[in-house]
Amino acid sequence: MSFFRNFLFLGLLSVAFCQEHSDTDPHLFPRPLIIELPQNVEPRCDSSIEETRLRCTGWRVAGEANNLSPWKTIPEECIDYVKDYMLGRSYEIDLQMVSNEAARFAKSIDLKGDRMDAWIFDIDETLLSNLPYYAEHGYGLEIFDHSQFDKWVLEGVAPTIEPSLKLYKEVLRLGFKIFLLTGRTENKRNITVNNLIEAGFHNWERLILRGNEDHGKTAVAFKSDKRKEIMEEGFRIIGNSGDQWSDLIGSALSVRSFKLSNPMYFIS
């Protein structure tokens, strides 16, 4: 891109992205600065690693912006990136940001007082985290294995996504009715209820799982149909929180939706 080449910051940027790490105040050092690295630490930022990180960030953000075609596994070159993202501060910061934005929006709503204002939450990677499962299965590099994943779900030990619990409690406090709308199937109702309660979630209005009649529907169709039913009962769906675009798009849409980060898998 000739235009961008005319900006002369590229060289500076590669420095800006690959910065010097120090646990001490760098300004305490005299200059020119001599740093002695311990023997077991290898310098890790060459241009190809940096380029891979930028490509993987681009891929992740494209997913968050709903720009990607359906995908089955994460790009092979991004396994370290996805792992670092999920286990590090970035994922946590992103979850906190979406929780805060949603709470700010919820607070801005003038509830009608008829108890018909509703908020929908997805469950997996929205209220409960399956990260312990994915950590054992390549963070999305392995093709999804239904029976293995079902075994994990049936353990009922998926941990709380804390920023979502904070939002959940706030939405409840404000007077919204909470609907949990999940692609999990009816045969997992009990374990899901137990897991949710164990994880700190209480007082939802309804937990909607996939029944036999929903078999074969895409997630978009299933969730749109269920939102339509909720609306036909007279509820106003104000907010909708989910980690998949298929939680949020289709028909019978919420006033605003909130996309939680998830670079590990894609559901159509």
Q: Which is nearer to its own copies, 153 or 209 (CB)?
A: 153
Judged by beta carbon, residue 62 or residue 116, the one nearer its own copies is 62
In which region does residue 66 sit, left (phi positive, over 0), alpha (psi from -120 to 50) or beta (all else)?
left
> Residue 88 or residue 211: which is nearer to its own copies going by CB?
88
C-alpha distances out from residue 42 to 77, 80, 140, 166, 211, Å? 20, 16, 27, 40, 53
Residue 239 has phi, psi (to 5 degrees) of: -130, 155
Report the residue number, 17 or 187, with the smaller CB distance to its own copies.
17
CA distance 23 to 180: 44
Q: How far is the CB of 230 from its own copies (least distance, A)?
A: 21
Q: In the complex, what is the shortest distance from the CB of residue 219 to its own copies, in angstroms, rounded to a whole number? A: 17
Distance CA 157, CA 131 (A): 11
CA 86/CA 255 separation, integer angstroms? 29
Cis ω for the linkage preceding 70 (within 30 of 0): no
Query: Of the two residues 100 and 185, which places its CB atom closer to its own copies in the complex?
Result: 100
Residue 21 beta carbon to its own copies: minimum distance, rounded to whole angstroms: 4
Minimum distance between the CB of residue 165 and its own copies, rounded to whole angstroms? 9
